[in-house]
Amino acid sequence: MTRRAAALATAALAAALALPALPFGFVYDDVLLIRENPLVHTLGRAGEIWSSSYWPAGLLYRPLTIQLFAVEWAIGGGSPLAFHLFSAVLAAGAALAALRLYRQVLPGRTGTWWAEPALLGAVLFAVHPVHAEAVASIVGQGELVAGLLALVVVERYLAWRASDALSAGRRLLLALLTLAAILAKETGYVIPLLLGAADLTMGRRTDGQKGRRTDGQKGRRAAFVLQGCAVLAGLLARLAVLGSFAGETSATVWRGLGFFDRAVAMLAIVPDWLRLLFWPARLQAEYGPPALPVTAAPAGLHGLGILILMLGAAGLGLAWRRRPALGFALLWTGIALLPVSNLPAATGIVLAERTLFLPSAGAMLLVAALLRAQPAGRPALLVPLGVLALAALAAVRFQTRLPAWRSQESFFRALAEDAPRTYRAHFVASRYHYGQERFALAEQAARRALALYDRDSRVHEQLGQALRVQGRCPEAIPVLEQGVRLDPAGTTVRSRLIECALAAGDTSRARAAAAEAVELGQREFSATLARLTR
């Protein structure tokens, strides 16, 4: 098999694994961002797409992703089929780009085509089960687009750098691709850091001829200046549209935690990163407390996280000079995890599988580099066959994960089964059942969420509302009051409390809740207070 045929086969493998998702519908976040988003339903509202937030209310700016949704909606007439088909194309393109990058990092050929370390690593990347969420969930296209562009930018940079072909036009092209990745997903902001990691590790191979190094350094310096301009352009566009450089609204578990506390808390997440990147047998759509302890008080998982990070740092130190490919793979993985590490800023998640798409490229490059570093005396067939067997198992796990995303019903059913000790799994399931007017199920799920984690005011609001619509306001009132105590600035939970108090005939309680809101500066309750004090 030729190298080109092997590359096409790798891309085809990634596409084939994604094709079973073609008949799937709009699921979970797809509903709000696509099916119920009027900006996506026509190509005539591009101006609004590029001048509005990703979410109807929030601080995320991903106009390229929303614009692609609008194009796919127009092509498919609103059918999910067009969206899923494009996701399959993106997955295939990312697998092909990963193989090209791995071959840049691990040049040379082996005697047998299927034993090529770069190819084996790319196959593992193509079938990685953690990609199932990004591929099957349509909103995962942001991850796919940003990941694909990152792979292309770094691969082209290394190729053009090695051949002294980093011309002004190519430097500009790389910067534009970086900007496109930034406008698709915030992950794109790390691309200049990935290029820097490539320069520090792999770049040494092409710097031996000092006679041509001055021009090459100037070209690389200009390339990084343009990369900085791309990052600046993305930030300025974000500021112009959203009025803030701040990130998305943080998850409840991060509120009140500063940088140091978040850093300590994320140590407990490191073991799950490692598991999902290298042995993703157990997969789920929601992660968080109490299953994952988000706390600044060190415990057993925190110590394991420190150990993993120390081993990674030691490996980087050992590989820095002698095994640059290993060093680059470790740096890639760490850099790609940075945007979702909750260190630069608190995010809306604790952990999400779709966000591991780009880090998995570094993890599988690490596997390929380890295969390349084998001692020469190892059996010629045993290791590659073992890797291919592992890839087959990964492909099976990928396929068994996909059906969870077939429909709303299958998703929320699987969510409760996969993450029984994650409160958000039951919270979002309660919201879904409420929307379907299955109020008893909504109450049951909300009670389960509250039993697992009682510090999120939205859970109190959800349970209180489920009780209210069933005509059980006396039960709902103490639940809603606790929600108000947790989040005094929350207007929705306070409104539910006032409504329930009035329905129960407790006017004084409703008046007190409205008066407190006015004292806090919530002017929308002024009319309510005036009406209740007459």
396 and 463 share one domain: no
Say whether both 426 and 400 belong to one domain.
Answer: no
Same domain? For 339 and 313 the reply is: yes
The confidence score (pLDDT) of residue 115 equals: 78
At 271, which amino acid appears? P
d(CA 142, CA 150): 12
For 246-267, write each residue's pLDDT tens digit. Answer: 766 788 898 888 899 999 999 9
Same domain, 398 and 465: no
Q: Extract the tokens encoding 305.
A: 């996280």
pLDDT-based confidence at 499, cuts 50/70/90? very high
Quote the tokens at residue 518: 């006015």
Per-chain mean pLDDT for the chain = 91
Confidence grade of residue 383 (pLDDT, cut at 50, 70, 90): confident
Of 404, 439, 469, the position where a domain reaches its end is 404
At 13, which amino acid appears?
Answer: L
Cis preceding linkage at 290, omega within 30? yes
Q: What is the pLDDT of residue 348?
A: 87
Average pLDDT over every residue of 25-41: 95
Closest CA to 185 of 160, 149, 222: 149
**Per-residue pLDDT at 184:** 97
What is the model's pLDDT at position 375? 66
Is 204 found in the same domain as 78? yes
- Tell me how far the alpha carbon of residue 39 is from its chain's centroid: 23
Mean pLDDT on 303-309: 95
512 and 379 in a common domain: no
pLDDT in tens, 264-274: 999 999 999 99
Question: Both 166 and 242 in a single domain?
Answer: yes
pLDDT exceeds cutoff 80 at 114: no
Residue 210: is its pLDDT beyond 80?
no
Range list of H helices, 323-381: 324-337, 357-372
Alpha-carbon gap, residue 456 to 449, rounded angstroms = 10
**416 domain-assigned:** no
413 Cβ neighbours under 8 A, 6+ residues apart? none
Mark whether 447 and 341 lie in a shared domain: no
Answer whether 267's CB lies under 8 Å from 115's CB: no
Residue 232 and residue 223: Cα distance in Å, rounded? 14
**What angle, 0 to 180 degrees and rounded to 10, lies between the N-to-C axes of helices 191-201 and 213-242?**
160
Question: What is the crossing angle of helices 63-76 and 168-184, to 10°?
Answer: 80
410 found inside a domain: no
392, part of any domain: yes
Residues 33, 272: Cα–Cα separation, whole Å = 28
Q: Is the pLDDT of residue 4 over 70?
A: yes
Is residue 160 included in any domain, yes or no?
yes
% the chain with pLDDT above 70:
95
Length of the chain equals 534
Range of the domain at 465: 422-532
Tell me the per-residue pLDDT of 424-452, one tens digit each, with 9 for 90 and over.
999 999 999 999 999 999 999 999 999 99
Name the least confident of 80-94, 106-120, 171-185: 106-120
Amino acid found at 143: E
Which residue, of 404, 439, 468, is where some domain finishes? 404
* Closest-CA residue to 288 (of 133, 399, 427, 125): 427
Structural domains of the chain, count:
2
Where do we find the tokens 């604790």? 350
Q: Are 23 and 81 in contact (CB under 8 A)?
A: yes
The H or E element that residue 461 is part of is: helix 457-468
The predicted structure's pLDDT at residue 207: 52
Q: What is the pLDDT of residue 467?
A: 95
* pLDDT(156) > 90: yes
We report the CATH number of the domain holding residue 460 as: 1.25.40.10
Together in a domain, 344 and 461: no
Q: pTM to 2 decimals?
A: 0.93
Kindly state whether residue 350 falls inside one of the protein's structural domains.
yes
393 and 509 both lie in a single domain:
no
393-399: average pLDDT: 97
Residues 314, 460: one domain? no
414 part of a folded domain? no
Confidence (pLDDT) at 209: 46
Residue 330 has pLDDT above 70, yes or no: yes
Q: What is the mean pLDDT of residues 296-316?
A: 91
Answer for the pair 257, 289: CB distance below 8 angstroms, yes or no.
Answer: no
Residue 344 domain-assigned (yes or no): yes
Distance in Å from the first CA to the final CA of the chain: 86
Alpha carbons 274 and 337: distance in angstroms, whole number: 11
The answer as to whether 438 is a domain residue is yes
* Average of per-residue pLDDT across 272-288: 95
- % pLDDT > 90, the chain: 78
- Both 232 and 304 in one domain: the answer is yes
Tokens of 99: 């193989």
